[in-house]
Structure 1
């Protein structure tokens, strides 16, 4: 018998409800809607994109690192990139740390690009709403409860896709998970910021190695306190504007609003210190002015669910292939641990491993898929596969699988993976030689 939460009014019924509109969620919603399904996308802010529009301005993971970059993500993300390029709002650039070609874009343009793609596909958007609970029918997630200015509202759905980043839906549905920091250190948080009025030509004359030396010298002088000594700052599509990824906050819990509040305050305090350092010490920044802070602090990992398969460090470093692949990743393990540096571990030149569909299928709950940085992976594997391009690949696969399940009144874990893979390939996703693989590893 379907159990509804008492006194919560029904907003509407939909085939698929997607919670969170970051790189995974917006891609999942578009992919599912393009399969002809009714899709509702729930987002806590008033715009789409999550981290891609609220924190950062560069997509990583589209290409493998190395001398001959190979593209490993396609489909819905390509449609988004084409529109950015058409607006002259994106360009490719090498990664500061050698992690492969990145695609830097204007986040403000991306907000309406994502929105246009979603509305054109027929996605029903619900902004300014949190998912605060789930509707359960036994062990099946049969809907979600949202909270906003109108109060609590219920959305019933055949399939729910959790793209919240923090596994909010899965957590409330009783799915087992690992909290970042349990058993291994959690990746740190970062408040990003933008500076305008930068003399780009002079700033380019300061190589990264020299910038790192200047940070170390600044700390040794006692005049500055810079928690991270090897952050990056780079050009954007807007002339004279640079984006900095420099702050580092360790020991905070992003799933606790009290702790997250303290982190937001500390992040902005650190920004002021880095701005002071850049303006006073680094050529090209003498007239720079702070013009923007990230909408919220950047969070790298919180809850990681336990799925039917858990991607591991060994899978990453061995470049493992899976019969149920739904995407590719060639990104290195990029662990922003506590301290003033970052741990990097690279794959072989030009290599990419598979992301198995089973890592999107949670244990102990039906009617639910998970995509994005809360998918099933160990800390080390997550540090490789959390790039926004891979989140898009996961979201696209989850959207297609959810559409197939909803169309047949089936459970997502029971969909024909071959059918999912064929639809992904047909719509532009990149799954290398998947048809030649026998079974799964």
Structure 2
């Protein structure tokens, strides 16, 4: 027998507990809104817990272009010795490295500090609409049964744009031919000796991707760049799929076809690194059966890559598999069509907007099948703005979207989808949702974006003063 229907009331409800979701919830609660964060899985933090670095928070020139909630997380990491540092990959970008085990605690500490209510193991089943472009509630389901949660404003940080799609918002999916970026499963290895690894890179620079941005290259030769990488002293290495080492292994069957083996530090005491290499293409990640069916192949690829690294890459001889990300990494599904569609030209040219409420700086990054990958740097190593209009679904009045399902074309989504810009978008959307409820306006479009920008800057967001 169906359990009784429960009811709850909040000011702001955030769907999805990944990077964008935790930032949205913290942003809303910090600005006085009674906030509920709903997550279908067993934990919040998303890719922050995988071991992947935070990309898109520091541009190629070394300028921090994301702050706010990111600063809160780093402060928590530093308290627990879980912050490794910010490093140059000597390729295209700079990134932030940290211990993902400690990050689990840091995320929850930030949410608790701001008074966010978190509901785990809970799926959104439906959206209640008023017929005039407003959502009045969401129907949630968990082991307690079904609950209708009403709120003044909602933020869709589901990654797939689930709330918006259920509410009838238009969206785009993949390329015009239906291509979607492959899914991946991050893993970590402990006991990696950094010096032998970096010495190998210094001696064989043709194996690694370096100097792909003129700002990063700075007129240096490949030999000079790998010397700088060696001096930096961190295992920040990008073995390219068409380099001799990896290409030979793929041809011989010792490795699966992949565009990269990206190695990044996560914990100095454990000598642990994150490895980003696995990929399964031609999967619609919203097809749960198809996504679930990739697990076996992804695990096989992890085993293959671990053996390859141990057998062929100095520094990995005594290393061992130490962790696998808690969930499959999804790069691309729905892109919600908003009041403004951020374009590849916008991001590539480092365009700024009067209603910019977040920034991004990651290169246009579109993974393809096998060894193919599009990597286009942002002009002059700078950053671009994400306008508030790209967070407003075209047909809805009290719903915002943040994260990889923002309103963008495919090239723009290929840069804005990373953790740095997702944190920035989330904070902007959550802050706006709280301000919407307090202002008593009938449409997100009526919010004064100058006031929103001022509030965000007061709370640590970076919106001005960068290249």
Question: May I ask how many residue pairs the two structures share in their alignment?
Answer: 425
Q: CA RMSD in A?
A: 1.9
Alignment of 1:247-258 (within 5 A): 247-258=278-289
Paired residues for 1:31-430 under 5 Å: 31-53=27-49, 55-66=50-61, 69-96=62-89, 98-138=91-131, 139-183=133-177, 185-207=179-201, 209-210=206-207, 211=239, 212-222=243-253, 224-238=254-268, 239-410=270-441, 411-430=443-462
For residues 185-206 of structure 1, give each alpha carbon's deviation from its aligned partner in whole angstroms, at most 9, with x where no partner exists: 3222111111123333323323
Instruction: Using structure 2 for the length normalisation, give the TM-score.
Output: 0.87
Once the two structures are overlaid, the 10-residue window that deviates more, 370-379 or 193-202, is 193-202
Distance 1:428 1:235, change over 3 A: closer
Q: Partners of 2:354 and 2:45 in 1: how far apart?
A: 30
Between the aligned partners of 1:191 and 1:46, the Cα distance in structure 2 is: 17
Structure 2: gaps of 5 or more residues: 208-238
* Segment drifting more, 356-365 vs 270-279: 270-279
Post-superposition offset of 1:106:
1.0
Query: How far has the Cα of 1:45 moved from its partner?
Result: 2.3
- How far apart are 1:390 and its partner, in Å? 0.7
Query: Once the 2 structures are TM-superposed, how far is the Cα of residue 229 of structure 1 from its aligned partner?
Result: 4.4
TM-score by length of 1: 0.92
* 3-state SS of paired residue (2:146): strand
Unaligned runs of 5+ in 1: 1-5, 435-441
Which digits, 9 at most, give the CA deviation of each residue in 1:303-356, with x for residues without a partner? 000000000011112222211110222221111122313211112224222110
User: Once the two structures are superposed, what CA deviation does each residue of 1:403-428 show, in whole Å capped at 9, x if it has no partner?
Assistant: 11111332222211111111111111
CA distance in 2, matches of 1:47, 1:317: 34
How many angstroms apart in 1 are the aligned matches of 2:445 and 2:294?
37
Q: Is the 8 A contact 1:215 1:229 kept in 2?
A: no
- Give, in whole Å, the separation in 1 of the partners of 2:105 and 2:359: 27
CA contact (8 A) 1:92 1:101 kept: no
